[in-house]
Amino acid sequence: MGARTGSSGRNIAVIGSGIAGNGAAWALAAASDHAVTVYEAETRAGGHAATVDIDYDGVPIAVDTGFIVYNEPNYPNLTRLFAHLGVATQPSDMSFSVSRWDDERGVELAWTSRAADLLGGRLPIAANVPSPVHLRVLRDIVRFNRRGAADLEAGRLGGLTLGEYLARERYSQRFREDYVVAMGSAIWSMPPGDILAFPAATFLAFFANHRLLRLDRPTWRTVTGGSRAYVRALTAPFAERLRLGTPVTRIAREDEGVRVVTADGASTLYDEVVLACHCDQAAALLADATPAERAMLGAIRYRDNAVWLHRDESLMPRARSAWAAWNVVKRPGDEVCVTYWMNALQGLDPARPLFVSLNPPRPPREGTVFARTDYAHPQFDQSAVAAQAALAGLQGKDRVWFCGAWTKYGFHEDGLHSGLAVAEALGAVAPWRVAPRDFGTAAA
């Protein structure tokens, strides 16, 4: 079966309907001479933009479990997209706490940024009376913010991993574990050991770009009514060509185009194919991938994270006054749990506490669970940075394109930027000048 357009327009398939695929399809659909079809294995569009409807003691509530927040300075394309689509947003709370898990006592708070406005900014406050250890952590935070920014700008990081950099600069173990590693594990959904293997330049570039090396922080926002509100608006122009529940099983280049085969046996020839799925999925689909393509796709590892939407308060710090929007719980061994307080993040009624926990030390108590799912997150190391650098030389080779949040730091802005960049390379023009994702590193 073939589905080709005329000589001027092209027939394009997009595989995956996360932010990268939807962003690419949206921009391409605006080019009237192109025909765009989006394939999605799941029965809903959006990828990590997932809003769940629950019944909370008879009260209906819509709550997000994946993409939740953004800020305008660091998400310029997403901000412009929301404005263009007329998506309503509202301020969010991005406070942070770190605790330790005790099998007998549960969650024991170490520190929290909530209501801590020291020196006009946010510094963590101890759970109890500040100790010499905690004061050392505060000094290390100030030094890390100042020295890290200077080392990044001066190019003094070389090929160091984050762990090597922290050791070289003689930061305290408590600072390393309870601040840098805890925040990194929460941001990237990675085990502590993998965070320490993170390229130091990439880590510090992200922190600098997101103003995490400064006391003044950006205002974070969330989509009113849940992220599905923007997904609906974004997919509306190509809704009739959005193939939900249609897994692709094989993609192969041919003389006349690129063939896409789906699980139901359908086979369609396209002029171009955009792979907006995870790298391991793309490698499995692309039957005739070149050695360079396989090397690039294979360099990006993914980690499955168990995600629970629940109301079990025992997975939060015991003192409710210490609850933060992001609550990191360090587990025995090389594991970290993050529990998001969704009432704070999405402005939900605090009388009905709602939480999203990633990799909790135990499942939420029976009768408290609303939903359970898994998300796969890209893991960033030196190999991943090299793969990102190789992407430019492989884009569009023999009519196959790649996009996704993995191309930068794994966030919504990165996915959208990569999707728009591919769309523009295929002749689309976004309604605004697409802001580059340049964080000052070699691969950025």
The predicted-structure confidence for 312-351, as pLDDT tens digits, reads as follows 999 988 778 778 999 988 766 657 889 999 999 999 999 9
Q: Please report, for the chain, the start and end positions of each structural domain, with discontinuous segments joined by +.
A: 11-49+226-300+381-425, 90-221+302-378
The pLDDT confidence band at residue 103, using thresholds 50, 70 and 90, is low
Hey, what's the torsion of the CAs at 340, 341, 345, 350, to 10 degrees?
170
pLDDT at 317: 82
How far is residue 152's CA from residue 141's CA, in Å, rounded to a whole number?
16
- How confident is the model over 150-202, as pLDDT tens digits? 999 999 998 899 999 999 999 999 899 888 998 898 888 888 888 999 899 99
Query: What are 53's two structure tokens?
Result: 């409807």
pLDDT band at residue 290 using 50, 70 and 90 as cut-offs? very high
Q: What is the pTM of this model?
A: 0.88
DSSP letter string, 379-408: E-SHHHHHHHHHHTTTTTGGGEEE-SGGGT
Percent of the chain with pLDDT over 90: 68
Stronger pLDDT, 259 or 380, i.e. the higher one: 259
Mean pLDDT for all residues in the chain: 88
Q: How far is CA 25 from CA 118, 247, 298, 304, in A?
A: 46, 17, 25, 27
Residue 266, number of CB atoms within 10 A of its CB: 12
Tell whether the model's pLDDT for residue 108 goes beyond 70: no
Homologous superfamily of 11-49+226-300+381-425 in CATH?
A: FAD/NAD(P)-binding domain (3.50.50.60)
Percent of all residues in the chain with a pLDDT value above 70, rounded to a whole number? 88
* Residue 279: predicted pLDDT: 98
Of the listed ranges 10-19, 186-195, 244-253, 335-344, the one predicted with least confidence: 186-195
Confidence check: pLDDT of 23 > 80: yes
pLDDT in tens, 32-57: 689 999 999 999 999 999 999 999 99
Q: In sequence order, which residues have a C-beta less than 8 Å from that of residue 395 and are 6 or more positions away? A: 401, 402, 422, 425
Query: Quick check: 443 pLDDT over 70?
Result: no
